[in-house]
């Protein structure tokens, strides 16, 4: 009996040992211990609120990732990875400049061993900065011929940018691009904006309080029209406007298509001759209809003036000629007709210097001598262009 009990005990001990080795075998084959490396696990800085209060932020481009090496049973590691590998970092006594970020894993199974590469990361903190920058709209594309953009407005016109000081300082404007192709009337678009530096390169690593704007473009029609001088009183008793030039002679006008299409010319303000006497190179404003604009609001009027004089010539009655067919009474022997006809010519002094008594032709028209006696008008001709001609007397009293 005692021998039988000893044999049973030995069998139980053997069974336990066998089971233990079998468990080790199964665990080694079915659920072995493995090592799993995971790259680029994001690090959550746990005292970020403290950094916010100190107006500090990690330098742009800082690698806030860590490589993790895990060791444990396959089943445990798989379960851990399924739950997620979470890395946390703490910056003790944060300050502007270089700091140490102490990294560790959160919520890791106690049966999992891990190693962090590195466990302490050097990190540079910068002052956080907020600045307001205006929105710049860059125009692309081509409008139809004869149209142009008068004005582009963005709403809002500026935005707040927040980020590391070095990045914020490099930003010159918030840029957006507006394609104006084929628009012949006002239009609006919702556009994306990006912060750019002086080279118009996008600055990343900053945040904008909103990343879109509404842009409104005002489109106008353009047209080139002649300029007309408004000079109602172009001469007086003593002076004559002998010539003038307008610089420029044409002007480009802008406005809504229905207005621009109806305009054929643009007049100047009224100019008096006395103004030109005082200033031969006179600046004159243009008179623009309502709704019309131009980049040339005034012109230069270059004028030349001449002095106007009068001179009287005494033409002998023997030189009076007859125009037409027929016979008139003898004028030269008529004692009732003055020996001379006084011809008063008014013209510029330059023209007057070229006129002599022989250039003046005095005549009467035969067809005007219909009755006897008759009162016949005296006519005068001269090759030069003059202002006026007067005769004394105006008529000849003929009888015979």
- Per-residue pLDDT of 228-250, as tens digits, reads 999 876 556 677 787 889 999 99
Encoded tokens for 211: 């990343």
- What are 107-137's pLDDT values in tens digits? 998 898 899 999 999 999 999 999 999 999 9
- What are 141-170's pLDDT values in tens digits? 999 999 999 999 999 999 999 999 999 999
Predicted confidence (pLDDT) at residue 320 exceeds the cutoff of 80 = yes
Q: What are the residue ranges of helices labelled H in the chain?
A: 2-30, 48-53, 74-83, 165-170, 257-260, 273-278, 349-352
The residue extents of the domains of the chain are: 33-118, 128-220, 222-307, 308-397
Topology at the third CATH level for domain 128-220: RNA Polymerase Alpha Subunit; Chain A, domain 2 (2.170.120)
What would the mean pLDDT of 272-293 be, rounded to a whole number? 89
Question: Within a 10 A sphere around the Cβ of 172, how many other Cβ atoms?
Answer: 15
CB 81 within 8 A of CB 69: no
What would the mean pLDDT of 251-258 be, rounded to a whole number? 95
pLDDT at 328: 64
Q: How far apart are CA 400 and CA 397, in angstroms?
A: 10
- Min mean pLDDT across 27-31, 78-82, 110-114, 342-346 is at 27-31
Residue linked to tokens 């309080």: 209
Q: How far apart are CA 208 and CA 193, in angstroms?
A: 9
Band of residue 327 on the pLDDT scale cut at 50, 70, 90? low
Nearest CA to 240 out of 349, 382, 384 is that of 349
Encoded tokens for 382: 């001269």
- Min mean pLDDT across 40-54, 203-217, 283-297, 384-398 is at 384-398
CB 119 within 8 A of CB 148: no
Number of H helices, E strands in the chain: 7, 27
Residue linked to tokens 């033409």: 315
Q: Which residues pair with 132 in a beta bridge?
A: 160
Predicted confidence (pLDDT) at residue 388 exceeds the cutoff of 80 = yes
- What are 68-101's pLDDT values in tens digits? 999 999 999 899 888 989 999 999 999 999 999 9
Predicted confidence (pLDDT) at residue 323 exceeds the cutoff of 60 = yes
Q: How far apart are CA 385 and CA 55, in angstroms?
A: 89
Q: What percent of the chain has pLDDT over 90?
A: 58
Predicted confidence (pLDDT) at residue 376 exceeds the cutoff of 90 = no
- Min mean pLDDT across 55-69, 219-233, 288-302, 308-322 is at 308-322
Q: CATH homologous superfamily for 222-307?
A: YbbR-like domain (2.170.120.40)
CB 168 within 8 A of CB 162: yes
Q: How far apart are CA 290 and CA 150, in angstroms?
A: 16
Q: What percent of the chain has pLDDT over 70?
A: 88
Contacts of residue 179, Cβ cutoff 8 Å, sequence gap at least 6: 140, 141
Band of residue 216 on the pLDDT scale cut at 50, 70, 90? very high
What would the mean pLDDT of 246-271 be, rounded to a whole number? 95
How far the first Cα of the chain sits from its last, in Å, is 199
pLDDT at 272: 86
Pick the more confident residue, 22 or 267.
267
The CATH classification of domain 308-397, taken from the options 2.130.10.10, 2.170.120.30, 3.40.50.300, 4.10.140.10: 2.170.120.30
Nearest CA to 80 out of 104, 43, 114 is that of 114
Encoded tokens for 173: 């404007």
Topology at the third CATH level for domain 33-118: RNA Polymerase Alpha Subunit; Chain A, domain 2 (2.170.120)
Predicted confidence (pLDDT) at residue 375 exceeds the cutoff of 90 = no
Encoded tokens for 217: 């473009």
Residue linked to tokens 């118009």: 200
pTM exceeds 0.85: no
Check if 33-118 and 308-397 are the same fold.
Answer: yes
pLDDT at 238: 73
* Per-residue b or e along 114-130, where b marks 16 or more CB atoms closer than 10 Å to that residue's CB: bebeeeebebebbebbe
Q: What's the mean per-residue pLDDT of the chain? A: 87
Strand arrangement of the beta sheet that strand 361-365 belongs to: 321-323, 361-365, 379-381
């Amino acid at each position: 009996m005692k021998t039988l009990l000893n044999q049973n005990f030995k069998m139980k001990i053997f069974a336990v040992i066998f089971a233990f080795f079998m468990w080790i075998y199964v665990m080694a084959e079915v659920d072995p211990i493995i090592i799993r490396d995971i790259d680029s696990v994001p690090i959550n800085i746990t005292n970020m609120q403290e950094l916010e209060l100190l107006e500090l932020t990690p330098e742009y481009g800082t690698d806030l990732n860590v490589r993790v090496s895990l060791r444990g049973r396959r089943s445990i590691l798989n379960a851990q990875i399924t739950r997620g590998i979470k890395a946390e970092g703490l910056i003790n006594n944060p300050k502007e400049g270089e700091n140490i970020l102490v990294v560790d894993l959160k919520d890791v199974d106690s049966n999992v061993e891990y190693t962090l590469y590195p466990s302490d990361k050097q990190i540079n903190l910068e002052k956080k900065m907020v600045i307001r920058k205006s929105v710049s709209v860059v125009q692309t594309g081509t409008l139809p011929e004869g149209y142009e953009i008068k004005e582009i407005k963005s709403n809002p016109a500026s935005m707040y940018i927040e980020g590391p000081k070095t990045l914020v300082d490099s930003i010159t404007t918030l840029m957006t691009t507006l394609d104006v192709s084929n628009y012949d009337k006002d239009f609006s678009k919702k556009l994306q904006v990006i912060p750019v530096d002086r080279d118009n390169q996008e600055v990343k690593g900053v945040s904008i309080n909103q990343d879109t704007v509404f842009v409104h473009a005002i489109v106008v029609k353009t047209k080139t029209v002649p300029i007309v001088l408004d000079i109602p009183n172009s001469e007086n008793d003593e002076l004559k406007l002998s010539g003038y030039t307008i610089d420029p002679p044409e002007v480009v006008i802008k406005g809504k298509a229905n207005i621009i299409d109806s305009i054929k010319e643009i007049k100047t303000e009224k100019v008096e001759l006395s103004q030109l006497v005082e200033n031969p190179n006179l600046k004159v404003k243009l008179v623009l209809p309502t709704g019309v604009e131009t980049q040339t609001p005034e012109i230069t009027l270059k004028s030349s003036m001449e002095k106007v004089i009068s001179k009287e010539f005494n033409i002998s009655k023997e030189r009076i000629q007859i125009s037409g067919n027929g016979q008139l009474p003898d004028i030269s022997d008529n004692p009732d007709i003055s020996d001379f006809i006084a011809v008063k010519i008014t013209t510029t002094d330059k023209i007057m210097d070229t006129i002599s008594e022989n250039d003046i032709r005095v005549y009467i028209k035969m067809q005007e001598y219909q009755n006897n006696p008759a009162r016949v008008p005296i006519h005068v001709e001269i090759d030069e262009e003059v202002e006026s001609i007067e005769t004394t007397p105006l008529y000849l009293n003929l009888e015979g």
